[in-house]
C-alpha cells in the first residue's frame, strides 16, 4: 500500500504538470520495460485495484481499454517516443480510474450513451442586469464595460465575468430606494460585488434584487434560486437576504442560501460567522453556527450539521454530490446544462456520491452516471431521456 500511495502521488504530480524528470522516469519504470506492454497493462490494473477498489468486472473493462491503446501505440523503438506514449498510457489509466472516484452504488454498467451530433456544453458566466429605470443590460458578453444610471453616472463595471459596483464614490447621487436586479438563467452563473464590497455568487436559474446604495440603516436584498454570500462586516448595518421561504440576517459572515421552487425545502448553510434564520411562514427564528444548516419545509424550521464544502463547492466550479437521490442529481444537471431530463424508470432508494468539475460536457457527465446506474441516456436536443 505504501508503494501504491507513492505511485499515486506521482500520478497526481503528473496530472498537475509538477512532476520532475527523475520522478517521471520512476513512474515509467514502475510500469515495466518498454517492450512489454502486457506488463504495463497488468501494473496499471494492479494499482487501480489497490487504490480505487472498483468491482471485478470493472477491473477487466479497464484493463481491456488500456490494452487496446497500448497494443495500438506502444511499440516504438526510440526511447523519446516511448516516453511520450507511455506517459499518454498512464494518463489514460488515470482518466479511466477517475470514473471510480464517482462511486455511484456499483450497479451493473452501461457504457452506450446515445447523443445527437452537437455536444451540450456546461454553463458559463451569463446574466442580465435590470436597472432601476427598467433598462436591461446583457452581462454575458460584456468585458470591462461601464454600467451607468439614468443620470449617466458610472455605478458599476463588468470585469472578467464579475459585476462590480462603485463603492465610496460620493459624487454618485443614488436614491437608496433604487434597486437593480441581476437575472442568471439556467446554464449560467455570475458573481456580483455589491456596493458595500460584499460578494455574491449566483447559481443557475437565480436572481438577486438589491439596492444600488445600502444607505445607513440596513442592507436588504431578495434572492430567488441559490446564492453564496461573503459579507463585509458592519455591526451597524445588518445584511439581510429575503426569499420565499427564509429570511437570513448576518453582520459579517459567509453563507449559502438555496430557495429553488422545485426543491423540497429552502436552506441556509453557514460557513463562517453567525447567522439568524427565520421562516417566512411560521416566523420561527433560529441562530446557527458554522457547519450548521437551517432548513424549512412547510413552515417547519429545523437545524442540522452539514458538510459545508459539499454544499458550497458549486461556486468554485465543482459538482459535489453526497448520498443524493437520483432526482436531486437530475435537478442540478437540468439547471446547470439548461436541459429537461425525464427518467422513465421506477423510483430507486439508491443514493449517489461523487465529485466532478462543472466545466465538463453533458455527455461526459451522463456517461459516468450510466456506468454507475445502468441507466441509458439519450440526448434529443435539450431533452434528455433515461431508460
DSSP assignment string, 220-276: EEEEESEEEEEPPP-TTS-EEEE-SSEEEEESS-EEEEE--TTSS-EEEEEEES-EE
Q: What is the mean pLDDT of residues 188-213?
A: 95
Q: What is the DSSP letter of 315?
A: G
Q: Each residue of 273-282: pLDDT tens digit?
A: 999 999 998 9
CATH fold, domain 125-311, is Jelly Rolls (2.60.120)
Q: How many CA atoms lie within 13 A of 156 on its CB side?
A: 30
What is d(CA 281, CA 283) in angstroms, rounded to the nearest whole number? 6
Domain range summary for the chain, segments of one domain joined by +: 2-101, 125-311, 324-386
> Is the predicted pLDDT of residue 30 greater than 90, yes or no?
no
Name the pTM for this structure: 0.69
Which of these CATH numbers, 3.55.50.30, 3.40.50.300, 3.40.1360.10, 3.40.47.10, describes 324-386? Answer: 3.55.50.30
Label the pairing between strands 285-288 and 292-297: unpaired
Q: What is the mean pLDDT of residues 56-71?
A: 43
Q: What is the mean pLDDT of residues 39-50?
A: 49
Quote the mean pLDDT of the chain.
77
Nearest to 36 by CA among 81, 67, 80, 1: 67
Q: Are 185 and 336 in contact (CB under 8 A)?
A: no
Banded pLDDT at 17 (limits 50, 70, 90): low
| Strand ranges inside 80-238, DSSP E | 124-125, 128-130, 136-138, 145-148, 154-159, 162-165, 179-184, 188-193, 199-202, 206-211, 219-224, 226-230
The predicted pLDDT at position 55 comes to 41
Q: What is the mean pLDDT of residues 20-33?
A: 64
The predicted pLDDT at position 69 comes to 39
Residue 85's φ and ψ, nearest 5 degrees, are -70, -35
Question: What H or E segment, with its residue span, contains residue 324?
Answer: strand 318-324
Which of 51-55, 78-82, 148-152, 339-343 comes out lowest in average pLDDT? 78-82
> Is the predicted pLDDT of residue 165 greater than 60, yes or no?
yes
Q: Each residue of 289-316: pLDDT tens digit?
A: 999 999 998 889 999 999 999 999 999 9
Nearest to 334 by CA among 375, 386, 295, 372: 386
Number of Cβ atoms within 10 Å of the Cβ of 119 = 12
> Is the predicted pLDDT of residue 318 greater than 70, yes or no?
yes
For the chain, helix, strand, coil in percent to 5 are 30, 30, 40
Q: Are 251 and 271 in contact (CB under 8 A)?
A: no
- Between residues 17 and 75, the one the model is more confident about: 17
What is d(CA 258, CA 275) in angstroms, rounded to the nearest whole number? 15
Nearest to 368 by CA among 135, 67, 98: 98
Residue 126's φ and ψ, nearest 5 degrees, are -150, 145
Per-residue burial over 358-367, b = 16 or more CB atoms within 10 Å of its CB, e = otherwise: beeebbebbb
The predicted pLDDT at position 295 comes to 96
> Is the predicted pLDDT of residue 258 greater than 90, yes or no?
yes
> Is the predicted pLDDT of residue 185 greater than 90, yes or no?
yes
Amino acid at each position: 500500500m505504501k508503494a501504491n500511495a507513492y505511485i499515486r502521488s506521482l500520478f497526481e504530480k503528473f496530472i498537475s504538470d509538477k512532476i520532475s524528470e527523475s520522478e517521471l522516469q520512476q513512474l515509467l519504470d514502475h510500469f515495466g520495460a518498454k517492450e512489454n506492454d502486457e506488463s504495463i497493462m497488468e501494473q496499471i490494473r494492479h494499482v487501480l485495484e489497490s487504490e480505487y477498489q472498483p468491482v471485478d468486472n470493472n477491473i477487466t473493462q479497464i484493463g481491456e481499454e488500456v490494452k487496446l491503446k497500448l497494443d495500438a501505440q506502444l511499440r516504438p523503438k526510440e526511447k523519446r517516443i516511448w516516453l511520450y506514449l507511455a506517459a499518454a498510457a498512464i494518463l489514460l489509466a488515470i482518466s479511466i480510474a477517475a470514473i471510480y472516484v464517482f462511486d455511484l452504488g456499483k450497479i451493473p454498467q452501461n457504457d452506450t450513451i446515445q447523443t445527437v451530433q452537437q455536444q451540450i456544453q456546461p454553463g458559463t458566466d451569463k446574466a442580465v442586469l435590470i436597472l432601476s429605470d427598467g433598462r436591461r443590460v446583457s452581462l454575458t458578453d460584456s468585458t470591462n464595460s461601464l454600467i451607468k444610471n439614468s443620470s449617466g453616472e458610472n455605478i458599476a463595471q463588468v470585469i472578467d465575468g464579475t459585476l462590480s459596483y462603485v463603492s465610496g464614490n460620493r459624487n454618485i447621487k443614488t436614491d437608496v430606494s433604487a434597486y437593480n436586479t441581476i437575472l442568471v438563467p439556467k446554464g449560467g452563473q455570475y458573481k456580483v460585488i455589491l456596493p458595500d464590497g460584499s460578494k455574491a455568487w449566483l447559481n443557475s436559474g437565480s436572481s438577486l434584487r438589491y439596492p444600488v446604495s445600502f444607505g445607513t440603516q440596513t442592507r436588504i436584498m431578495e434572492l430567488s434560486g441559490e446564492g453564496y454570500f461573503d459579507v463585509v462586516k458592519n455591526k451597524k448595518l445588518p445584511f439581510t437576504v429575503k426569499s420565499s421561504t427564509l429570511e437570513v440576517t448576518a453582520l459579517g459572515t459567509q453563507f449559502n442560501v438555496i430557495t429553488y421552487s422545485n426543491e423540497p425545502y429552502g436552506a441556509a448553510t453557514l460557513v463562517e460567522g453567525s447567522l439568524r434564520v427565520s421562516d417566512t411562514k411560521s416566523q420561527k427564528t433560529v441562530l446557527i453556527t458554522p457547519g450548521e444548516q437551517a432548513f424549512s419545509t412547510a413552515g417547519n424550521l429545523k437545524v442540522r450539521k452539514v458538510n459545508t464544502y459539499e454544499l458550497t463547492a458549486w461556486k468554485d466550479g465543482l459538482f459535489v454530490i453526497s448520498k443524493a437521490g437520483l432526482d436531486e442529481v437530475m435537478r442540478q444537471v437540468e439547471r446547470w446544462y439548461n436541459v429537461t431530463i425525464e427518467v422513465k424508470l421506477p423510483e430507486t432508494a439508491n443514493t449517489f456520491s461523487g465529485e466532478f468539475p462543472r466545466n465538463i460536457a453533458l455527455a461526459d457527465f451522463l456517461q459516468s452516471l450510466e456506468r454507475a446506474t445502468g441507466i441509458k441516456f439519450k440526448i434529443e436536443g435539450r431533452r434528455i431521456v433515461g431508460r
